[in-house]
Structure 1
Amino acid sequence: MHDNESLTAVFEAHRGRLRAVAYRMLGSVSEADDAVQEAWLRLNRADTGDVVNLGGWLTTVVARVCLNMLRSRETRREEPLEERLPDPVVSRADGMDPEQEALLADSVGFALLVVLQRLEPTERLAFVLHDMFAVPFDEIAAVIGRTSAATRQLASRARRRVRGAAGERPDPDLSRQRAAVEAFLAAARDGDFEALVAVLHPDVELRADSGPVMPWNELRGAITVAEQAVMFRKMYDYAFPVLVNGAAGVLLARNGRAFTVGALTVVDGRIRSVDILADPARVAHLDVAALT
């Protein structure tokens, strides 16, 4: 039997893990918080007297809530191929606070979140729960209503898609990441095309999400991305170094207001991908004074 006090204690002990699961599933900090809150409400309504592992029970509840939210999101889309970048977790260049560290435990890079967002909802759930949080396949199968073997196949298919889309492993050395990002910013400010090409991977990808009023923009190749950077060189006068999902990134802000967040993935000293979030509704909440 679990009384209200013990239920609260267990829930708070697992809140960080539940939030991390939901963020990877949904790619949205606010929706992840909503999913965790829904799990708390269900915990209070449920008879959990016979539940031995409340942490595991809560994880599957959050997963089920997230799956429903993803399916609802799919049905609401006006365009089936609509693209949106996930929510970045932005922190000061000198480090993250404990809550951000808990959310990004096990180093979920921004580029990986972009790939996860392109998976089918059940693929995403199987991959996140099994590969990132070691939930057994039989427990995942109960959430999605499939056999354990079918769930294993879903995770395997998702794993292949993630490996194929994620490309090379990002550089774990933060100082090398920062050096590449700083070289990119300096070259962009100077309009130095050759220096830009040198710091970009030949197959670099740039993805830009400017919100519902602007089309999704995707570019590929060092020449094309360097041309884009030179075209918008004046913007980089307002660039500040930050961490985006724990990796070196850029915040563009003017007059105390943020207008763009850039997540850059560095591989072997060169920039492999650039993800630009310039949706005013999604960056306006950032506290520029606290981040710069």
Structure 2
Amino acid sequence: MDSAAIDRFEASRGRLASLAYRLLGSAADAEDAVQDLFLRWQAADRERIEAPEAWLTKVVTNLCVDRLRSAQTRHERAAGAWLPEPLLEGDPMLGPAETFEQRESVSLAVLILMERLSPVERAAYVLREAFSYPHAEIAGFLGISESASQQHVHRARRRITAERRGSDEVDAASARRIVEEFLAAATSGRTERLVAMLTADATALSDGYGLARRLLRYSTRERIAAYVRAGFRPTPAKRRLAGGSPAFHVALVNGSPAVLAAVGGRVVGAVAFAISNGKVASLHGIAAAERLARLNEAWRQHEPDAPITTAW
């Protein structure tokens, strides 16, 4: 393959990776899909491809749809232990962020909700909401009619809007304030402060420090507060599991405020928040090492602010 063909592909790699991440919810799987795409591009009769960008988008979309349809993927995600792979603010895989829809489509909350869509619905929704493709092009990418594309997007948008918890956009200063207040409440020993920070219909999901076989789910303010208080209560067993006493940092993860627990320059856990009307509408706790691999790569190149607290 000549250098011009390689350059053309590399110029599109970032956009294609961010599309694949939104479709799969996993940076590792997105990278695999883009590598598979490169092999297809290498083997293709490129002189007959009139619109390379459209061709690349179509192929990577269908590679991702095939992955979502695969028996192995369905089994892994149906097992109840799947959460999206969180990405640190500034990661190029987060992709376009000019509009609210683009930013929201990569939030952990929406990535989880998109798991409930069919692969084609998910693809149509992402292509429309995050990348603003017209329905005619989406139909061509997915091999469906234009009216079917419209229906898929409409159904996906309706389901996500109905089930979404929290949609407030939060800047870095607001994120820090929210995380500081949350940590103060979590470490105070009193769950009433935590309950007051939660919306009436708040939810929480956790992978149980990476050890649970199924996700831990909490759906009342009192249960969420008790779970959070227990999670932040220091114990020798937790310090052994983490490899030391972690420092807690404020960060933006997938556009949402988050607290990261770091030991020796390595992130060992992340809790991301969705905010609604100034309160916490949902929490996502992730500690499985494989889900934090890419975030840790970015963290090692990151200059974090001073930790909020190191007492644990």
Q: TM-score, normalised by structure 2?
A: 0.81
Q: Which residue of 2 aligns with 1:137?
A: 135
Deviation at 1:15, TM superposition (A): 1.1
Residues 17, 102 of structure 1: 8 Å contact kept: yes
Distance 1:194 1:242 in 2: 25
Q: Which letter does structure 2 place at the counterpart of 1:196?
A: L
Aligned residues: 285
Change (3 A) 1:103 1:29: farther
- What's the secondary structure of 1:49's corresponding residue? helix
Residue by residue, what CA displacement relative to the aligned partner does 1:91-126 show, whole Å, maximum 9, x if unpaired? 5xxxx36x3564767322221211122221111011
- Tell whether 2:262 aligns with 1:263: no
Alignment of 1:151-190 (within 5 A): 151-190=149-188
- CA shift in 2, pair 1:258/1:110, >3 Å: same
- In the alignment, the residues of structure 1 paired with residue 178 and residue 248 of structure 2 have an alpha-carbon distance, to the nearest angstrom, of 15
**Deviation of residue 69 (structure 1)?**
0.9
Say whether 1:278 aligns with 2:310: no
Q: Tell me the percent identity.
A: 34
Secondary structure of the residue aligned to 2:258 is strand
Which residue of structure 2 aligns with residue 10 of structure 1? 8
Cα RMSD (Å) of the superposition? 2.6
Which stretch has the larger CA shift, 275-284 or 177-186?
A: 275-284
Q: Which amino acid aligns with 1:146?
A: I
Q: What's the offset of the Cα at 1:57?
A: 1.4
Q: What is the Cα deviation at residue 178 of structure 1?
A: 2.2
Structure 2: unaligned runs, 5 residues or longer: 235-244, 305-312
**Shift in Å, 1:188:** 0.6
- The one-letter amino acid of 1:54's match is P
Alignment of 1:110-129 (within 5 A): 110-129=108-127
| d(CA) in 1 for partners of 2:140, 2:56 | 14
Does residue 1:244 correspond to 2:253, yes or no? yes
Shift of 1:79: 7.5
Q: Residue deviations 1:3-31, cap 9 Å, x none?
A: 82322222122111101100000001011
Q: Structure 1: how far apart are the matches of 2:293 and 2:73?
A: 27
Superposed CA deviations along residues 205-239 of structure 1, whole A, max 9, x for unmatched, are 10112457532111113222112122223259642
Could you say if the C-alpha distance between residues 262 and 175 of structure 1 is closer, same or farther in structure 2, counting changes exceeding 3 Å?
Answer: same
CA deviation after TM superposition for structure 1 residue 192, in Å? 2.7
**Aligned residue identity for 1:173:** D
DSSP-derived class of the 1:133 partner? coil
Out of 244, 253, 260, the position equivalent to 2:262 is 253
Query: What do residues 136-189 of structure 1 show as CA deviations (whole Å, max 9, x unaligned)?
Result: 333333443332222221111111111112244223333223212210101111
Q: What's 1:226 paired with?
A: 225
Q: Among residues 77, 82, 85, which one is paired with 1:84 in the alignment?
A: 82
